[in-house]
Chains A and B, each alone.
Chain A
Amino acid sequence: MSEGHRLAFAAAFFTQARSDWHVYQLLAATSGLPSCHSLHYLQAACEKLAKAYRLRDTGATVDDVTSRHTGFAKFVNAFLRSPTLVAEYHGLLARYRAVCSSSARFAREIEKLAPAIDRATSPENAEYPWLRGRAVLTPCEYGYPALSLLSEPGGRAFLRLIERAFREYGQVAIQ
């Protein structure tokens, strides 16, 4: 596949990610919906955003990025280590560490929401029922305790990081 196609895929992933992000925000604000639905779109937005950056900046091939659901947690680390972000936190090491730590934790939890990720140890996902012990559990009846904290300060810092990654796609590059 040509370089032009790779960059076209990066742009397309970004556009679709941003659309998923808007749907996440709509669903998160909608009363009476099980949280699996908003989390499904949050996971989709984050996965596609990471793919867009990877395709554009790292030379990864389209086959590489489309064949797996992982990569978002790595992307968050890479984004936080981008020269723009590092320069911004110069002299603010404690703040930088706190943001990195909470963002990495949420990124791992969101990555695990994809049904194909780590089904043996973390079968909880946002789409399909799963087996936990002897019980079959259903996404729309599950509480996702690790992600209910998205509305608390650490979670919102993570959501702002994602917002920023969307907004500064044209300015920030990852390595």
Chain B
Amino acid sequence: MIRSKDDVAQELVRVHFSVEPALSRIYRIRSEREDEPGEPIKLLEVNANTVATGSIDTFTFAPTKEVPVPTVIAEVTPEEHKQLEEGKLRLPGGWSLQGAETFERPAA
């Protein structure tokens, strides 16, 4: 069965929350080209167990058997997330939190 891009994104969010207890929030960024083939799933994840770098770096992963859509993932610490909300950090080009789908950590 071929999964839709939305289904793959939901599954990624679920898996990431399940493997990382310090992950508190995930934004799924949507672009104007979201429905075009090849447009990746874009996630911004707030993770206390990551390393701060003082910027929002993206890592791109090619499609795999398990995740058949390209993914671009950026990760921030809670402190960097606060800086982002205060306008002290910039999102990658073409990314915006406006219109992003927000997933909070499910209650245990």
Contacts and interface: CB of A to CB of B under 8 A. Distances in A.
Interface in B28-78: 45, 47-53, 57, 59-64, 66-67, 70-71, 73, 75
Nearest to B52: A88
B50 A99 contact: yes
A157 interface: yes
B16 interface: yes
- Classify chain A's interface size: 20 to 34
B62 A30 contact: yes
A163 interface: yes
B84 interface: no
A33 B51 contact: no
Contacts of B22: 95, 98, 153
A102 B64 CA distance: 23
Contacts of A29: 60-62, 70
Contacts of B47: 153, 156-157
B15 interface: yes
A164 B51 contact: yes
Contacts of A58: none
B20 A163 contact: no
A20 to B, nearest CB: 16
Q: Which 4 A-B pairs have the closest CB atoms?
A: A153-B20, A29-B60, A157-B50, A98-B49
15 contacts: A29-B62, A33-B62, A95-B48, A99-B49, A102-B49, A151-B61, A151-B67, A153-B49, A156-B73, A157-B47, A157-B49, A157-B50, A157-B51, A160-B57, A164-B51
Interface of B: 15-16, 19-20, 22-23, 45, 47-53, 57, 59-64, 66-67, 70-71, 73, 75
